[in-house]
């Protein structure tokens, strides 16, 4: 049973941090929502009003402004009652009405029973509206968090769908806004319903390890407090436990036993000033030996979501690694509540700036570039929902990109003209391939060609960002012969993966195209390939099927694929290749290497265990980006 805040309690909660808030308007919004939802109940049988007040209370903890609180109270009245958005606008003003409308799902009437399309359309609407006012996303996250807290009363199938959507969509959105507290709660609640047995295991293990953990960290905290006090440094120090889902992920990544004493927590230190953060790190390192190259300075270089702080990892008692986070109070509040904390600080200064993050511009660009909801949402997820990195221009400008992005992504993120005239590339002053994958901290310099030569079609399979893909497709559609380009691409991939020529396969392809694809002729198919409308990977699967492309099936149910790599003979190349294969989770069954000493060239054969064609195709794409590899192909018979 959840406790429902009364109007007076909510008003007092807001008044405690924002005396200038329009408290009468909040009370009026409360009463309006209460009347609109009168007689409605939740799955639990409790009054429906428990939900909007719960969402408003979550936002009040973030110290948001009065209009955001009002929008939270009213966020379901248009969707679930007879109230209209014009009524909200007339009574509470256009600002509140905009927030309410932005989090209201698209109509069931418009989409009929096409639930997936409706969900995609609603998500697109939410993201686009967020670009105008980020409070939209704050209201939606509070709405989702309260729904997840009461999810146990929902039917099983719906419960799993909501938990999956939360993990896939709302956790990354909370991360983008830097709202750590909401993000970890959403993670753990989703984890609870998606993997209940794993959740229960980690919950119990963390609980049983509590006594040992408290004893272990007590002396460490005491030792640091003593040193800080003797050096005149005022500190707030606490032991913060990682959430259950993060523990689960760490165990999955490391593939070994998880240490519920040392690895489950970090020591959080809060100091008065920025300079004190560095003093505290010096004191930590004077007490315990730091792990080399594991110090993280997110003050000098904040994370993409504006997170700031210093992280260090040291060797503690019993050989356990101890993690310290050091922040100022402002950094700590921002880490917990992200943009909401920034706005609260601004309001105290009478600064109404609602500036958001750089990724807002990315969403705006993708909105213009992708017409369908499915394409738009796919590219937003690919660009923004994964891990991000910061790279630099020669002039020191910071470019924010998804991890795995390459130089072409970098170029197109700055300007389409730079991407279309991409010439020589220098990464950290060393000449590199234009499709070289970048890493955080890289400094990139691009020499543009005099003429606009444009991208090659193979770039589509190698770039990461939706912006780059859209610009490449736009250029391909306007330039060159799409049919010739598509024919060349299909021919190259037929040779690589099947050892066949396009000419000899033409009649077979013609028959399959007519009977099994949406295209009428081979010319239509290769033209679509040449314009980047379809991927060559999917075309090969449609034409030949995965089993025919991959060949021999193993007892494990996976496929055995023989890959031949042609390259120059340079030190470290074999290590680059095997590291890439390990990163992709590929099992190397056998290998054979031959080197021509006169020409300094090498042929390397790898027999691999692969799950599907997608795995070997993307390995091929990434291998081609490794320096000194000249060609890669699948061979039908392994030597």
CA distance 264 to 242: 5
Tokens standing for residue 456: 């090659």
Would you tell me how many other CB atoms lie within 10 Å of the CB of residue 282?
10
Tokens standing for residue 277: 């953060």
Q: What is the dihedral of CA 132, 138, 139, 140, to 10 degrees?
A: 90
Mode of pairing for the β-strands spanning 289-290 and 310-315? antiparallel
Q: What share of the chain is helix, strand, coil (3-state, %, to 5)?
A: 55, 15, 30
- Burial per residue of 322-357, b for 16 or more beta-carbon CB atoms within 10 angstroms, e otherwise: bbbbbbbeebbbbbbbbbbbbbbeebeeeeeeeebb
CA distance 200 to 184: 17
Residue 533 annotated in active site = no
Quickly tell me which residue has 């290998």 as its tokens.
Answer: 591
Angle between helices 359-369 and 115-132 (to 10 degrees): 130
Bridge partners of 237, per DSSP, are 269
Catalytic residue from among 80, 259, 505, 576: 80
> By the 8 A CB rule, do 253 and 201 touch?
no
Q: What is the dihedral of CA 295, 274, 281, 175, to 10 degrees?
A: -40
Residue 34 annotated in active site = no
Residues in the chain: 639
CA distance 336 to 300: 19
Bridge partners of 238, per DSSP, are 268
Main-chain phi, psi angles of 121, to 5 degrees: -65, -40
Q: Give SS3 for 559.
A: strand
Q: Give SS3 for 424.
A: strand
- Burial per residue of 568-590, b for 16 or more beta-carbon CB atoms within 10 angstroms, e otherwise: eeeeebbebbeeebeeeebeeee
Catalytic residue from among 34, 46, 79, 569: 79
Q: Give SS3 for 71.
A: helix
Could you give the angle at the alpha carbon of 511 between the alpha carbons of 507 and 513, nearest 5°?
Answer: 110
> By the 8 A CB rule, do 333 and 325 touch?
no
Element (H or E) spanning 573, and its range? helix 573-583
Quickly tell me which residue has 């009347």 as its tokens.
Answer: 35
Could you give the residue numbers annotated as active site? 79-80
């Amino acid at each position: 049973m959840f406790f429902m805040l009364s109007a007076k309690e909510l008003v007092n909660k807001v008044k405690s941090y924002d005396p200038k808030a329009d408290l009468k308007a909040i009370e009026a919004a409360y009463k309006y929502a209460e009347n609109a939802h009168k007689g409605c109940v939740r799955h639990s049988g409790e009054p429906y009003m428990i939900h909007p007040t719960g969402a408003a209370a979550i936002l009040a903890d973030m110290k948001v402004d009065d209009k955001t609180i009002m929008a939270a109270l009213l966020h379901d009245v248009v969707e679930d009652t007879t109230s209209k958005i014009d009524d909200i606008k007339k009574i509470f003003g256009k600002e509140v009405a905009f927030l309410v409308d932005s989090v209201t799902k698209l109509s069931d009437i418009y989409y009929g029973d096409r639930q997936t399309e409706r969900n995609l359309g609603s998500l697109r609407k939410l993201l686009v509206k967020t670009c105008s006012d980020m409070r939209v996303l704050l209201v939606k996250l509070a709405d989702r968090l309260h729904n997840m807290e009461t999810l146990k009363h929902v039917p099983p199938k719906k419960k799993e769908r909501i938990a999956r959507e939360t993990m896939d969509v709302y956790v990354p959105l909370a991360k983008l806004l830097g709202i750590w507290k909401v993000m970890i709660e959403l993670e753990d609640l989703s984890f609870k319903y998606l993997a209940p047995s794993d959740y229960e295991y980690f919950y119990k293990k963390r609980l049983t390890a509590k006594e040992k953990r408290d004893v272990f960290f007590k002396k460490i905290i005491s030792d640091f407090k003593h040193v800080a006090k003797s050096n005149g440094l005022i500190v707030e120090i606490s032991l913060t436990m990682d959430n259950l889902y993060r523990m689960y992920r760490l165990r999955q990544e490391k593939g070994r036993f998880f240490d519920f004493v040392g690895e489950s927590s970090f020591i959080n230190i809060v100091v008065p000033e920025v300079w004190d953060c560095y003093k505290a790190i010096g004191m930590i390192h004077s007490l315990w030996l730091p792990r080399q190259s594991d110090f993280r300075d997110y003050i000098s270089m904040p994370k993409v979501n504006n997170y700031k702080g210093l992280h260090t990892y040291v060797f503690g008692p019993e050989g356990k690694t101890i993690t310290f986070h050091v922040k100022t109070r402002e950094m700590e509040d921002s880490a917990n509540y992200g943009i909401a904390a920034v706005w609260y600080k601004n309001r105290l200064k009478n600064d109404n700036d609602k500036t958001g993050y750089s990724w807002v511009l990315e969403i705006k660009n993708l909105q213009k570039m992708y017409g369908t909801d499915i394409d738009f949402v796919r590219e937003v997820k690919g660009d923004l929902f994964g891990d991000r990195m910061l790279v630099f221009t020669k002039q020191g400008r910071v470019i924010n990109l998804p991890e795995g992005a390459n130089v072409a992504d970098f170029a197109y993120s700055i300007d389409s003209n730079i991407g279309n005239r991409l010439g020589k590339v220098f990464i950290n002053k060393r000449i590199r391939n234009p499709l070289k994958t970048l890493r955080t901290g890289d400094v990139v310099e691009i020499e543009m060609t005099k003429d606009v030569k444009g991208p090659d079609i193979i770039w589509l399979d190698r770039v990461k960002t939706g912006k780059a893909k859209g610009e490449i497709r736009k250029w391909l559609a306007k330039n060159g012969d799409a049919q010739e380009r598509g024919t060349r691409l299909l021919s190259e991939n037929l040779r690589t993966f099947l050892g066949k020529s396009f000419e000899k396969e033409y009649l077979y392809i013609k028959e399959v195209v007519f009977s099994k694809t949406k295209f009428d002729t081979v010319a239509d198919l290769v033209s679509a390939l040449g314009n980047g409308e379809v991927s060559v990977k999917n075309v090969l699967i449609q034409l030949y099927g995965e089993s025919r492309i991959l060949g021999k099936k193993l007892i494990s149910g996976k496929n055995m694929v023989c890959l031949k790599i042609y390259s120059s003979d340079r030190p470290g190349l074999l290590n680059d290749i095997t590291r890439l294969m390990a990163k992709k989770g590929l099992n190397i069954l056998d290998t054979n290497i031959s080197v021509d000493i006169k020409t300094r060239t090498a042929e390397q054969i790898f027999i691999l265990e692969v799950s599907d064609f997608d795995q070997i195709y993307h390995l091929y794409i990434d291998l081609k980006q490794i320096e000194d590899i000249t060609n890669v192909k699948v061979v039908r018979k392994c030597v």
